Structure 1
Amino acid sequence: MTGRRRLGLAALALPIVAGLVWLGIWQVHRLAWKRALIAQVEKKLASAPLDAPGPDRWTALSSGDGYTRIVVRGRYLPALPTFVQAATTLGPGYWVLSPLRSDRGFTMLVNRGFVPQDARSRPLPDPTGPVAVTGLLRLDEPHGGFLRANDPTDDRWYSRDVNAIAAKRGIGPVAPYFIDADARTSPGWPRGGLTVIRFPNNHLQYALTWFAMAAFLAGAVGWMALRPSKD
């Protein structure tokens, strides 16, 4: 290989190697972020429940508030429940969302839990009287699920879109979040406590893959550039 070709090969390979190294470093940063996120959520799950955020805190809510354990006290409103398609460890079915009027004066949606597909055609327990619901704060899920848009007209729901559900049920303004009731709050059907809390953490594997590719390419180019011309 001539000197000019060696230089051309190096000029072509160096940006690719640098790009692969950059991707590896980026995955290392993502690994640190994911570990911090998992630690934060685990700390929230182990903490005592806080009062459900009132209207004075709604505008300040962010993704960092998700999965906080909260408690709300009040009464369920006499509105039809909303069934949102779900897939859980118990199989396919629906989440059951009902509006609750807090004793602090605001309305919010409560995911009372999961019911199997055939349970939708059967009467569900209609909670009456004062209740205290404990569970996880979940942020609004607007529009719909993957490749499936919510259809309020036909009452078909693929995500827990609190504003659209509130408009459909005619219950007025609601909190920009809902609560996933825990199992102690919702025994039987609907079955609470089925929130899936799982954060895939493959960033170390990805980082090692990018670094290995960079090392392999750099080694291959170095070998080709330094081998004798007769080869």
Structure 2
Amino acid sequence: MNVLVIDDHPLFIDGVSLVLKQLANNVEVFKATSIQEALTLLESQSDFDLILLDLSLPGMDGFSFLQRFSAAEFCIPVVVVSAEEQLSLIRRALKANVMGFVPKSLCASDMLFAFKSVLEGNQFLPDRITQMLTRTTDPAVSFELPPHAQHAGISTKQYAVLVLIAKGYSNQTIAKQLNRTEHTVKSHTAALFQILGVSNRTECVEVARKRGLINNL
């Protein structure tokens, strides 16, 4: 298993490397202290199973990386690991389709759980951040089903899930916002993937936008 850690703090890199080594017996940790170094590394080796990204880096920041990463169409889960926990940054990262946001203040066991969860295909947010996002979710979001979405075979409940996926919310946050179980949200998400012919959240949002289903998000 290959993991790329993009961070400019050697002490953190050493610490998180010890956590990552607990994921499997064959974990190899690659380190990049700048966005340019990370992009250069990805050009020569793209078989990473996971990328950990700090948002605050010298030169280009983490969001610059996410933009270039998305344009290059890599299929590698990215987890933001940051000392900054402003909701505006978290929302922006989630809209960039990262698979998790892990505060650097988390203990090693919680970080390990987060990384395992993402590698299993789940999006991870700590409970307290999920609760903050839920309390501050934009009340003006419209879940009204447009005619072209209905013609595509998307139900009203599925469309509500699609809207919140496009806003970058995790399954847990969507479930709380819509007063549904996470299992129900996952079922609606799977149905959306099938309808739109995609296999992950990033593709789902991209295809939905191309088809004009969520133009204003």
TM range (shorter): under 0.3
Q: TM-score under structure 2 normalisation?
A: 0.27
Name whichever structure is richer in strand by fraction: 1
Larger of the two Rg values belongs to structure? 1
Name whichever structure is richer in helix by fraction: 2
